[in-house]
A and B are shown apart, each in its own frame.
Chain A
Amino acid sequence: MPPLQQVCQILITTLGLRQMPLSEKTPLLGSLPELDSMAVANLIIALEQHYGFEVQDDEISAHHFATVGTLSDFVVSKMA
Chain B
Amino acid sequence: MTVDTLPFNALPFFLNTDEGERFCLYHEPEPGVQPRGTILYVPPFAEELNKSRRMVMLQARAYAQAGFGVLQIDLYGCGDSSGDIGKAHGEIWLNDLEQAWRWLDQRNLGPRHLWGLRLGGLLALHFAKRVNPASLILWQPALSGRAHLNQFARMQSAARLFSTGPSVEQNTEIGGYLMSPSLSKAIHELDAAKLTPGCPVQWLELNTRIQDAAEDYATAAGISHPALQPASALLITRWRDAGATVHTWSLHGDPFWSSAEIGIVPDLLAATAQAMESA
A positions within 8 Å CB-CB of B: 1, 5-6, 9-10, 13-14, 29, 36-38, 40-42, 44-46, 48-52, 54-55, 57, 60-62, 65
Contact = CB atoms under 8 A, between A and B. Distances in A.
A1 B215 CA distance: 11
9 contacts: A5-B212, A10-B210, A38-B158, A38-B260, A40-B158, A41-B151, A50-B230, A52-B234, A60-B157
A6 B211 CA distance: 9
Contacts of B211: 9
A68 B14 CA distance: 50
Interface string B143-155: 0000100110111
Contacts, number: 67
Given A10-B208, A10-B210, A13-B209, A41 B161 contact: no
B151 A45 contact: yes
Contact size range, B: 20 to 34
Contact of B161 (A1, A29, A46): A29
Contacts of A6: 210
Given A37-B161, A38-B155, A60-B158, A50 B229 contact: yes
A57 B231 contact: no
A52 B227 CA distance: 14
A51 B230 contact: yes
A52 B161 contact: no
Interface in B158-196: 158-162
Contacts of A41: 151, 154-155, 158
Contacts of A45: 151, 154, 258
A54 B147 CA distance: 8
B3 interface: no
Contacts of A48: 147, 151
Q: Which of A5, A10, A37, A51 has the most CB of B within 10 A?
A: A37
Interface in B65-86: none
A1 B154 contact: no
A54 B210 contact: no
A1 B150 contact: no
Interface in B194-234: 208-214, 229-231, 234
